[in-house]
């Protein structure tokens, strides 16, 4: 059975468009202007248990609407969707026991109480068997390293400590699918890494399917294996992240370090950037320019000490995809 299966999902909205100026507000009451908007326009996807999927798209692309449908908060206009074999909006109660939804705006943790109290409350909410709950909590505490702050009121924790408690709380009831929204927002680099590692760890050890939404491409790159990109309510890309980077943009960046300072650098193809006189980077589109000749040429003419070939940052890949889908629309 798939973890998530969606077929031709569609969701239309009728939005009230307020009139501006003069007697507008009165006209709006008598006869409101309605605009039909299609937030989700025929989305189909299939996700297997244990996958780590990034769900991306610019603002207004239909991401949150799709997630609301998958978590049972919203009915679709048409189409089929199944999460763990259940229809979310029909079996929301039953599904709630088996999934977790961590949305950016609302924290699960009670602000004025220590995290331990939130965990106990969640145990009651999810009807966790006390015998199994105790060892589970200990395991999560150890894994997420939150032991020292378990009895400190949440309002006194730093953002990094709070997020770790937040994510730990989400895994308390062993959800089979977890919907995460911006889990690392506002965190420093080290805290971010920790959270990402922890999510991957739990996925590896417990097979939790992860459905991640984030504007941070670091999250996407370091946690997920697959990316589904939506725009204008449609899926634009559904591919493994590795392939995404390889195929979507044919650019490569050649980084060079020189043994002795080089003042004037000319190349056969590509765009050159000189951070300083000992280094250079050449960016070129390998579809159009032969990378082997460019490298061979540079290596013969200049005292190259070190060379590295990199793929473009994921951010640029995704931005290009957004751009392309916007041009196509």
Nearest approach in angstroms of CB 83 to another protein is 12
Tokens 């909590």 belong to residue: 137
The DSSP line for 247-272 is II--EEEEEEEESS--S----SSSEE
Q: Does 63 bind another protein (CB under 8 A)?
A: no
User: How far is residue 299 from each of residues 75, 77, 188, 256, 265, measured CA to CA in Å?
Assistant: 61, 60, 39, 9, 12
Helix (H, G, I), strand (E, B) or coil at 198: helix
* 214 and 310 Cβ atoms separated by less than 8 Å: no
Q: Binding string, 85-124, against another protein, x = CB under 8 A? A: ----x--xxx-xx-x-x-x--x---x-xx---x--xx--x
Task: Name which position in 2, 5, 8, 13 contacts another protein (CB under 8 A).
Answer: 13
Task: Report the residue number, 128 or 256, with the smaller CB distance to another protein.
Answer: 128
Site string for another protein, 16-55 (x = CB under 8 A): x----xx-----------x---------------------
Select the span of 8-16, 234-242, 269-277, 300-308 touching another protein (CB under 8 A): 8-16
Return d(Cα 284, Cα 269) in angstroms, integer: 7
DSSP state of 61: S
Token look-up 């949305």 returns 103
CB of 133 to another protein, least distance (A): 13
Site string for another protein, 148-187 (x = CB under 8 A): -----x----------------------------------
Residue 241: enclosing H or E segment and its boundaries? helix 241-243
Is 127 near another protein (CB under 8 A)? yes
Q: Give me the residue label for tokens 């050649």.
A: 254
Of the candidate residues 57, 58, 72, 115, the single one contacting another protein (CB under 8 A)? 72
Q: Which is nearer to another protein, 31 or 112 (CB)?
A: 112
Question: Which positions from 220 through 249 interact with another protein, judged by CB under 8 A?
Answer: none
Kind of pairing, strands 177-181 and 209-213?
A: parallel
Smallest gap from residue 95 Cβ to another protein (A):
8
Nearer to another protein, 83 or 256 (CB): 83
Check if the beta carbon of residue 43 is closer than 8 Å to that of residue 11. Answer: no
Question: What is the spatial distance between Cα 32 and Cα 25, in angstroms, rounded to a whole number?
Answer: 9
Residues 223/54, Cβ–Cβ less than 8 Å: yes
Q: How far apart (Å, rounded) are the C-alpha atoms in residues 46 and 149? A: 39
We find the least distance from the C-beta atom of residue 137 to another protein, in angstroms, to be 15
Distance of CA 121 to the CA centre of its chain: 28
For position 130 contacting another protein by CB under 8 A, the verdict is no
Q: Which range, of 14-22, 41-49, 180-188, 288-296, touches another protein by CB under 8 A?
A: 14-22
Applying CB under 8 A, which residues contact another protein? 11, 13-16, 21-22, 34, 68, 71-75, 89, 92-94, 96-97, 99, 101, 103, 106, 110, 112-113, 117, 120-121, 124-127, 153
């Amino acid at each position: 059975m798939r973890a998530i299966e969606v077929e031709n999902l569609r969701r239309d909205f009728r939005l009230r468009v307020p009139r501006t100026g003069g007697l507008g507000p009165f006209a709006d009451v008598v006869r409101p202007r309605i605009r039909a908007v299609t937030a989700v326009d025929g989305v189909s996807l299939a996700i297997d248990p244990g996958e780590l999927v990034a769900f991306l798209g610019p603002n207004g692309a239909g991401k949150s609407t799709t997630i609301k449908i998958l978590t049972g908060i919203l009915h679709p206009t048409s189409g089929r969707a199944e999460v763990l074999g259940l229809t979310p909006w029909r079996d929301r109660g039953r599904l709630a026991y088996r999934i977790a939804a961590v949305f950016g705006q609302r924290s699960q943790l009670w602000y004025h109480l220590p995290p331990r109290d939130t965990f106990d409350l969640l145990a009651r909410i999810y009807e966790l068997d006390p015998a199994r709950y105790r060892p589970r909590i200990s395991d999560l505490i150890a894994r997420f390293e939150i032991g020292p702050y378990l009895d400190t009121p949440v309002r006194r924790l730093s953002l990094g400590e709070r997020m770790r408690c937040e994510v730990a709380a989400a895994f308390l009831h062993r959800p089979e699918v977890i919907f995460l929204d911006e889990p690392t927002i506002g965190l420093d680099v080290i805290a971010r890494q920790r959270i990402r590692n922890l999510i991957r760890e739990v996925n590896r050890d417990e097979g939790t399917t992860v459905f991640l939404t984030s504007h941070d491409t670091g999250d996407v790159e370091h946690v997920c294996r697959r990316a589904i990109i939506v725009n204008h309510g449609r899926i634009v890309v559904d591919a493994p992240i590795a392939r995404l980077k390889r195929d979507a943009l044919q650019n490569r960046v050649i980084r060079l370090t020189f043994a002795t300072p080089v003042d004037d650098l000319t190349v056969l193809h590509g765009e050159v950037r000189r951070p300083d006189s000992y280094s250079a980077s050449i960016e070129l589109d390998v579809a159009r320019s032969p990378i082997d000749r460019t490298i061979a040429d540079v290596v013969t003419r200049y005292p190259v000490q070190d060379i590295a070939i990199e793929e473009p940052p994921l951010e640029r890949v995704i931005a290009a995809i957004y751009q392309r889908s916007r041009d196509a629309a």
